[in-house]
Amino acid sequence: MNIINVMMFGGRRCGKTSVIAAMKGCFQNVFGENTNLDIEISDMATMDVIDEKNTEISQYFINKTRSIVMNQSYAATQGLMEYKLDICIKGKDGKTTLNICDFPGEWLDKNHPDEQKTLQAKIEHCNIIMIAIDTVYLMEKAANHKAESVGQYNERRNYCKHIANMVKDSFQVADGEPPKMIMFVPLKCEKYYNSGEMELVNGRIHTAYKEIFEFAEENKDKYEIIIAPILTLGKNTAEFSRFEYGEDGEIMLDTDLMIPSMPKYIFKDISCSYSPQYCEQPLLYTLAYILDLMQKMRNTEKVKAGLFKKLKLYILETYCDLASAQDFLEHKKIITEQLKMEKDGYEIISDPLQLKEMTV
């Protein structure tokens, strides 16, 4: 069995669990009945969370009102969760299990030092970090319209600098280890997608997470870095309208975090339906990462011949079972063809895995 550990980072209510819940459906839409690739969920706890989140989101689309205020009642993640998604090939025994770690975003607040230690210990065993970003807080209330300026509430919502420090401390790649992957996943992008501002979203991610980009630049061969924006609800569904004002005429703030507590979204088209877009991309990049490890395993002979001298094989053996690797590698072209690499804010910034050139 192949196992890959993924950490889903991000502040509270930014949409981490919702996007994990939408992944399976999007993956199946992309690969449909035309391929043998499929996702199975055998873990009951994972199934429960996904069902609950999908039900919560689908409520927005039942008896639609023109505007909705998010954050009113939602199922917050209650503790450290590990969701298990099995990627299978129909008719074959082998599978690749993604262990996706999710946690309550409030753990990133400064009054949760013990929980942060738990997270750091987890990250050390992860191959991939996904950093979920509440794009509305990144984009709104910025000083100007340039990429260098981010929303005034961004840091308090998205914890960019704090996450950067955790990554630098606990997500290091030892010499000889295969590269790790850092994926920035901006969520709730509908407004910016509909108004053609996804490149600005991309630029502001570069500004907000500057420390991570600088760290990766210093360790160029060690991190595959990707920006992969997502429309969790779907284009032309609900897009951000404004932060709700209180009776005093000021934006209503959460008394604890001092960030707007009532983001209001409007349905542009009242007849729209739940149609998440690009939620499969983080999964596909994860699969591309695994395929790269498998490929390196298969090149054992070359390793012996000295071509990959620095690569410690035992590390790869922890993740990859060569018997089923062969079956997956046969699907490599199908998977990599579906990787979105540009436009709509997408970018591969650092590419030691050479995904841009990946061909069979």
Which residues of this chain interact with ligand GTP, rule CB under 6 A?
10, 12-18, 56-57, 70-71, 74, 76-77, 104-105, 187-188, 232-233, 238, 265
- The option from ligand GTP, Mg ion, none interacting with 185 (CB < 5 to 8 A, set by class) reads none
Whole-number Å distance between alpha carbons of 271 and 334: 34
Q: What is the nearest approach in angstroms of ligand GTP to the Cβ of residue 348?
A: 23
- The option from ligand GTP, Mg ion, none interacting with 74 (CB < 5 to 8 A, set by class) reads ligand GTP
**Burial of 304 from C-beta contacts in 10 A (0-12 / 13-18 / 19+):** exposed
* Residue among 45, 190, 170 at smallest CA distance from 20: 45
3-class DSSP state of 56:
helix
Map tokens 């689908």 to a residue: 58
- The option from Mg ion, ligand GTP, none interacting with 158 (CB < 5 to 8 A, set by class) reads none
**Burial of 60 from C-beta contacts in 10 A (0-12 / 13-18 / 19+):** middle
Interface of this chain with Mg ion, residues 50 to 109, rule: CB under 5 A: 77
* Residue among 12, 4, 17 at smallest CA distance from 254: 12
Nearer to ligand GTP, 76 or 143 (CB): 76
**Burial of 275 from C-beta contacts in 10 A (0-12 / 13-18 / 19+):** middle
- The option from ligand GTP, Mg ion, none interacting with 232 (CB < 5 to 8 A, set by class) reads ligand GTP
Region of 254 please: left (phi>0), alpha (psi -120 to 50) or beta.
Answer: beta
Q: What is the nearest approach in angstroms of Mg ion to the Cβ of residue 311?
A: 36
Nearer to ligand GTP, 27 or 192 (CB): 192
3-state helix, strand, coil in the chain (%, to 5): 40, 20, 40
Binding residues for Mg ion, rule CB under 5 A, total 3
- The option from Mg ion, ligand GTP, none interacting with 151 (CB < 5 to 8 A, set by class) reads none
Q: What is the nearest approach in angstroms of Mg ion to the Cβ of residue 51?
A: 14
CB 270 within 8 A of CB 66: yes
CB 118 within 8 A of CB 79: no
Q: What is the nearest approach in angstroms of ligand GTP to the Cβ of residue 204?
A: 17
Map tokens 């060569």 to a residue: 322
Nearer to ligand GTP, 188 or 296 (CB): 188
Q: What is the nearest approach in angstroms of Mg ion to the Cβ of residue 278?
A: 19
Phi/psi for 342 (5° steps) reads -150, 170
Q: What is the nearest approach in angstroms of Mg ion to the Cβ of residue 134?
A: 12
Taking CB under 5 A as the criterion, the residue among 17, 237, 277, 281 binding Mg ion is 17
- The option from ligand GTP, Mg ion, none interacting with 179 (CB < 5 to 8 A, set by class) reads none
Cβ-Cβ contacts under 8 Å for 99 (sequence gap 6 or more): 3, 4, 5, 6, 82, 83, 84
Q: State the Cα angle at 60 between 269 and 267, rounded to 5°.
A: 20
Q: What is the nearest approach in angstroms of Mg ion to the Cβ of residue 343?
A: 29
Q: What is the nearest approach in angstroms of Mg ion to the Cβ of residue 107?
A: 11
Nearer to ligand GTP, 17 or 261 (CB): 17
* Residue with nearest beta carbon to ligand GTP: 232
Nearer to ligand GTP, 5 or 277 (CB): 277
Check residue 260 and report its DSSP letter.
Answer: B
277 in contact with Mg ion (CB under 5 A): no
Map tokens 């013990």 to a residue: 114
154 in contact with Mg ion (CB under 5 A): no
Nearer to Mg ion, 134 or 197 (CB): 134
Nearer to ligand GTP, 14 or 167 (CB): 14
Q: Which stretch binds Mg ion (CB under 5 A): 14-22, 234-242, 287-295, 320-328?
A: 14-22
Q: What is the nearest approach in angstroms of ligand GTP to the Cβ of residue 74?
A: 3
Residues near Mg ion (CB under 5 A): 16-17, 77
